[in-house]
Structure 1
Amino acid sequence: MTAATPTSGVPVKQGWLNRSLNAIERVGNKLPDPAVLFALFMVAVWVISWALSDMVFTEIDPRSGQPIQIVNLLDGSSFAAFMAKMVNTFVTFPPLGVVLVAMLGLGVAEYTGFINAGLRSILSVTPKVLLTPVLIAVGILSHVAVDAGYVLVIPLGAVIFYAAGRHPLAGIAAAFAGVSGGFSCSLFIPSSLDPMLAGLTQASARLSSHPAAAEMLINPLNNFYFTSASAFVIILVGWFLTDKVIEPRLKQTQVDGDPATLPTMDALKPEERRGLRFAMLSILISVAALAATAYPETSAWRGTDGSLTHSTANLMQSIVGLIFILFLIPGVVYGYAAGTVKTHRDVVQGMSKAMSGMGYYIVMAFFCAQFIYAFGQSNLGALFAIKGAGALKEMALPMGVTLIGIILLTATVNLLVGSASAKWALIGAVMVPMLMELGVSPDFTQAAYRVGDSSTNIITPLMPYFPLIVVFCQKYVKSTGIGSLIALMLPFSVSFIVVWTCFLLLYWSLGLPLGIGSSYTFPALP
């Protein structure tokens, strides 16, 4: 193995950029936990609803044809109703069941080693010239296992680059760009993020005063075509930056980690190869069985209109269940074939481990659900949407400019709030209803959000896995710090947000489909 040459450590420039990022870090560290933020926002909604409940507004609520009225949530009857519905509000919160069910299957696949072996298999047979794009693509593919890419693909990226005689930090940068910078991409395989965001979008859409909002159903794959196409944009941009910008800069950065502690990429063992063969066979059989049962015109998977892709079709409503099954089956098959699973108790243990890691999300979901409910009951969302839509109509800004604003807003908030679902619950509750009033579909608004959400993941120290990436870097370059990693990833972040935004606008201008059962427009109010 060869290491990169000269000097010691990654230089950290104390310019205006680092000073600004340090200031953002200090401010961000002072913010409460997202769960507490939702609780505080809920209290704020209560107080604001009380303060505005006696005010008279001229805006007309299309649902009733009457001037909109803010409901005082601190009124005795309203508060009692809130408390009585608290449990139901939580258990019926759209993203909750979706995420937990998907994670049961994904958890088994990860626990048995199927995902680990599959990623190692892909990376081990990659030609050297395609090392960078394939590593970024694998980072994007890792999203099906939610956070598996952070703890698996990123350190493996350093290993395979180091083994190939390239700088290991370039491998970390490329993998980090795919896993986190391309977090909203889905390379032809749905991830648990898709139904999670769609569930939040549906909850936000139903806050709208639009007559059609109450019955609106958001397909979990409403951005699937766009996010799959976006994966190629991220791969190409990341490939160019890694090979032409990042790696040349790292030539002056010496690899000074302890050689005895530097990891190696273990080849797949015979039992792991056997497990992968049986697991892939089980996937083919499962997909073939699904296709065979869905093909007939009388298939139970179809909707009443015979469609397989309409949001009311059983197939579309079963996306989360299918994610569960299509990862559970190969995960179990791999486990038994590779010897990582001995009994059914090991499978249950995998599910239990996955659920134990969801404890924080469940806490956040509880407070998020209560905030969404209070926001909707107060009519504040409807008031903000109608007033915001009126202001945007008067400004007469091109829709493209409005979408760019959403992307930049999201990218900025992302520097302070790390959770994708937490940000979308906050931003979507206002932006989705407001743009529906202007005739923009929730699907299109969600697509704009996803661009902004991913682009700045890789430069915010508040992202939960950011310190872990610093530790990975320190195994190779001991002097690596937060500023070093930010400087390493900043070219990716800036390039992603510029190129990806342009791609979204081009995609829209060409009228290409965003996803299954989605649209760009929504019936605008007169």
Structure 2
Amino acid sequence: MADTPATAPEQSGGLQKVLDWIERTGNKLPDPAMIFFFSLVIVWLLSWLLSGMSFEEIDPRTGEAIVVNNQLTGDALATFLAGMVKTFTGFAPLGVVLVAMLGVGVAEHSGFINTGIKRVLDRTPQFLLTPIVILVAIVSHTATDAGYVLVIPLAGVIYYAMGRHPLAGITAAFAGVSGGFSANFVPSAIDPLLQSFTQSAAQIVDPAIQVNPLNNYFFTSASSVLVILVGWYLNDKIIEPRLAKVKVDGDPEDIPKFADVTAKEKRALFWALVAMGLGVVALVAAVWPESSALRAPNGEIASFSAPLMHSIVPLIFLLFIIPGIVYGYLAGTFENSRDVIGAMSKAMDGMSYYIVMAFFCALFISAFNTSNIGALLAVKGADTLREWALPASVTVVGMILLTAFVNLFVGSASAKWALIGPILVPMLMQLGLSPDLTQAAYRIGDSSSNIITPLMPYFPLVVVYAQRYVKGTGIGTLISIMLPYSLVLLVLWTAFLLIYWSFGLPLGIQASYVYPAP
């Protein structure tokens, strides 16, 4: 293959050394589950070392000086062992993710989501192909990994069928699925997942604080427009022209063919969407009366005390499992109730690793909170930032950059937020910045660098997709193509948050920019 801009990074010494260093360093890190275990041990040791010291910092929860509690005493270890099961089963993100995934899993394994994506892309005019691909990729987050296993390879197939470069389709979809991971018009499991970690971290400072699962919904919805426009421009004006000289040299038998949606699948999709629409109508009808049981006692819908706000995850479950079942029976992928339960089981199979990680994460967060080390770090960090007297916007930008850097080595969004959230959220609360704003900033940093880290679990899979068309595609090739997306998204998305903030636009439901909330 000729030396083209798309393959030059494979031979470029400086960039290749940086990429090699990132890959080597990341590969030396333990598994995220083990990182939480080691963090737990470190918390124990630090609690023992710091328990005999006196601190002047005032605990905002008690109004008294912070005292670090030794977690290695006999009583503390006995309490730890006695409460281990309860600590794990009571870990808020665990139930949130598993319940949502039961419904989404049925919709995915029935074929409902896959057929819906195919229909959207199949009916798209060529000049709108890129923005629609990115839009579908963003919405695919609702089905967790469906974007990686369906949208990305399918985009390559469609671009190739339309006479465009297949790598342009693959990378545009990758930018939407992974680079725009925190942008979505549709509430998904990632919203309550991050919210649960944010709330746990915020309660280190304020045990009574509640964070709404949709506390970033308005911002992430608006961000979807930004990601689509940025991706559209970069793909059609910069990336695809650079790929023009890259020869498609894959073996013809290995290049996937576009499979048309059958008439049976179209009919099943139609009635499944009708079922989903009726579900939404039924929900609106149930909430509409001022005396609705889903409203708060004072009649508000978005109040923390409203049952509706506590039902976000069950609603996600219902709004996906119902059309999934309808589609499955009409399309023939489900023949009886055993098939529905089988789809749920398959969804849980994919969550086995998360459950293991959640076990160690729950123990770490519990020890971190009980020891008071989290409160001490938060107050000390806040005091240091106050002394620096940095503008709040600069602090938020610094947090975004920190998250983007950490993301190069810890690919899991939940694992990363569970690690740094208990430090950043309380610390910024001490500076008067709300957990809602901190979480929004985290989501920008996390999404922007997803597409340039080889340690992201699906990164090698995207390389394989690309190699079907261009045999010489490697990790360096893919990173070189995705780097413009990553850098531009990081800069423009950060600026977008600052502008959004300056206008005081709402971040989400029951969200604020300041703490305590007005």
Task: Sort the TM-score into its range (normalised by shorter chain).
Answer: over 0.9
Instruction: Give 1:61 shift.
Output: 1.8
Pick the aligned partner of 2:202 from 201, 205, 225.
205
Match of 2:246 in 1: 253
Counterpart of 1:145, as a letter, is: A
How many Å separate the matches in 2 of 1:378 and 1:404?
30
Q: Secondary structure at the match of 2:308?
A: helix
Match of 2:73 in 1: 75
How many Å separate the matches in 2 of 1:251 and 1:407?
34
Instruction: Give 1:14 shift.
Output: 2.2
Contact 1:42 1:374 survives alignment (8 Å): yes
Per mean C-alpha deviation after superposition, the further-off stretch among 465-474 and 305-314 is: 305-314
Match of 2:511 in 1: 518
Contact 1:150 1:179 survives alignment (8 Å): yes
Contact 1:7 1:254 survives alignment (8 Å): no
Match of 1:176 in 2: 174
Per mean C-alpha deviation after superposition, the further-off stretch among 429-438 and 5-14 is: 5-14
Contact 1:262 1:475 survives alignment (8 Å): yes
Pick the aligned partner of 1:338 from 331, 334, 337.
331
Alignment of 1:194-233 (within 5 A): 194-208=191-205, 213-233=206-226
How many Å separate the matches in 1 of 2:428 and 2:458?
33
Pick the aligned partner of 1:390 from 379, 383, 398.
383
1:314 and 2:304 aligned = no
Alignment of 1:313-462 (within 5 A): 313-462=306-455
How many Å separate the matches in 2 of 1:29 and 1:221?
34
Instruction: Give 1:441 shift.
Output: 0.6
Match of 2:26 in 1: 28
TM-score by length of 1: 0.96
Contact 1:443 1:519 survives alignment (8 Å): yes
How many residues align? The count is 515
Match of 2:58 in 1: 60
Deviations 1:451-484 (A, max 9, x none): 0000000000000000100000000000101111
Instruction: Give 1:261 shift.
Output: 2.3
Match of 1:132 in 2: 130
Match of 1:98 in 2: 96
Match of 1:111 in 2: 109
Contact 1:7 1:252 survives alignment (8 Å): no
Counterpart of 2:312, as a letter, is: I
Instruction: Give 1:58 shift.
Output: 1.0
How many Å separate the matches in 2 of 1:63 and 1:288?
43
Deviations 1:390-414 (A, max 9, x none): 1111111000000001100000000
Deviations 1:291-310 (A, max 9, x none): 11110000011012211111
State the identity %. 60
How many Å separate the matches in 1 of 2:143 and 2:239?
28
Deviations 1:275-301 (A, max 9, x none): 011101101111111111110000011
Q: Secondary structure at the match of 1:286?
A: helix
How many Å separate the matches in 2 of 1:295 and 1:16?
61
How many Å separate the matches in 1 of 2:504 and 2:35?
38
Counterpart of 2:192, as a letter, is: P
Q: Secondary structure at the match of 1:513?
A: coil
1:84 and 2:82 aligned = yes
Pick the aligned partner of 2:227 from 230, 234, 253.
234
Contact 1:223 1:447 survives alignment (8 Å): yes
Instruction: Give 1:267 shift.
Output: 1.3
1:193 and 2:173 aligned = no
How many Å separate the matches in 1 of 2:420 and 2:200?
12
Q: RMSD in angstroms over aligned alpha carbons?
A: 1.2
TM-score by length of 2: 0.98
Pick the aligned partner of 2:155 from 140, 154, 157.
157
Contact 1:45 1:375 survives alignment (8 Å): yes
How many Å separate the matches in 2 of 1:182 and 1:66?
43
Match of 2:290 in 1: 297
Match of 1:468 in 2: 461
Gaps of at least 5 residues in structure 1 are none
Gaps of at least 5 residues in structure 2 are none
Counterpart of 2:74, as a letter, is: G
Counterpart of 2:87, as a letter, is: T
Instruction: Give 1:13 shift.
Output: 3.1
Deviations 1:240-260 (A, max 9, x none): 000011001101100001122
Instruction: Give 1:6 shift.
Output: 7.0
Q: Secondary structure at the match of 1:152?
A: helix
Counterpart of 2:300, as a letter, is: S
